[in-house]
Structure 1
Amino acid sequence: MHLKNSTEPNVILMIDDNPTDVLLIKEAFALCGENYEVYVAEDGAYALEFLSQQDQYCHVPHPDIILLDLNMPRKSGLEVLKELKDDPDLKSIPVIIYTSSKTKADVRSAYLSHANGYIKKSIDFDDCIKIANSINDYWFSTSTLYEP
């Protein structure tokens, strides 16, 4: 375990296939006043390659947190979440579900699969800024993240 240097960026992996949602949250984090690197995997299969640092992802950093959409092609968010939480090298990374679904079944499935949070997406930019600030305040200011 190493302690993160204060000049190192906070690394977020966003797993989402919607370019508008990605752009909104990236812009919102840019306004948080902190140093962020937001990486994007367009689906669950790419996300798992990223996290295992395979192929084109061989030099990417280990994410501090993951924002995970549930509804994606090839491999759903719940499938990715289950794989992450079953992997001894990845299960300590906080996974926040960031999705348009707010059905009780999806919320229940996410938490039963060990999600660390569940946030409903918004297309309103002011809401996205609030979401980014709340993630920043809790995960990067209040919490102590495990760093392998």
Structure 2
Amino acid sequence: MTRSPSTDLVSILLVEDNPGDVRLIEEAFKSAEFETTFHTVTDGSAALELLHERAASEDGPELDLMLLDLNLPRTDGFEVLETVKNDPKLTSLPVLVLTSSEATEDIVRSYELCANAYLTKPTDPDEFADIGRAVEAFWIEEATLPPVPS
């Protein structure tokens, strides 16, 4: 889950069910100074399956962070967030909620469930690049992430 400072490859779990938003988010990271690999799933259940497989196997994808939508089919983002933050093998993975909801109760609940950040999706597609730059500037270039628990 942590990235070596000498590695320019960043691995992101993108949990997003809207294909248009997936495309915009992936495009937003193409201008970054690092290479990004997205592991994209379209519902919360698939996200939890991937995370548990990764935690159980050394062969699974190492993840630097998760971008999590809240409004997902099958298992919603709140349940994914709660599961991740309550699992000792997953809890160190930074989770950035990236959703269209501006509802105060969603923001509060996300932080109560230990989201690392809450970002509202821009309404203008061109503004998605700002999200990519913000994530790069803080989570990739500045933040020191904890080691993966054994």
Common topology (TM > 0.5): yes
Number of residue pairs aligned between Structure 1 and Structure 2: 146
Aligned to 1:13: 13
Aligned to 1:73: 73
CA RMSD of aligned residues (A): 2.0
Structure 1 length-normalised TM = 0.91
Asked if the contact 1:96–1:116 (Cα under 8 Å) also holds between the matched residues in 2, the reply is yes
Once superposed, which parts of structure 1, at least 4 consecutive aligned residues long, lie more than 4 Å away? none
Cα gap change, 1:8/1:102 in structure 2, threshold over 3 Å: closer, same or farther? same
User: Aligned AA for 1:43?
Assistant: D
Distance 1:66 1:3 in 2: 13
Distance 1:137 1:125 in 2: 20
Mind listing any 5+ residue stretches in structure 2 that lack a counterpart?
none
Please show how residues 26-65 of structure 1 align to structure 2 within 5 Å.
Answer: 26-53=26-53, 59-65=59-65
Aligned to 1:141: 141
Cα gap change, 1:34/1:103 in structure 2, threshold over 3 Å: closer, same or farther? same
User: Aligned AA for 1:22?
Assistant: V
Distance 1:45 1:143 in 2: 28
Asked if the contact 1:28–1:125 (Cα under 8 Å) also holds between the matched residues in 2, the reply is no
User: Aligned AA for 1:50?
Assistant: L
Aligned to 1:128: 128
Per mean C-alpha deviation after superposition, the further-off stretch among 83-92 and 8-17 is 8-17
Q: 1:19 offset after TM fit, Å?
A: 0.6
Structure 2 length-normalised TM = 0.90
User: Aligned AA for 1:117?
Assistant: A
Asked if the contact 2:13–2:40 (Cα under 8 Å) also holds between the matched residues in 1, the reply is yes
- SS state at 2:62 partner: coil
Asked if the contact 1:21–1:123 (Cα under 8 Å) also holds between the matched residues in 2, the reply is no
Mind listing any 5+ residue stretches in structure 1 that lack a counterpart?
none
Distance 2:130 2:74 in 1: 31
Cα gap change, 1:106/1:128 in structure 2, threshold over 3 Å: closer, same or farther? same
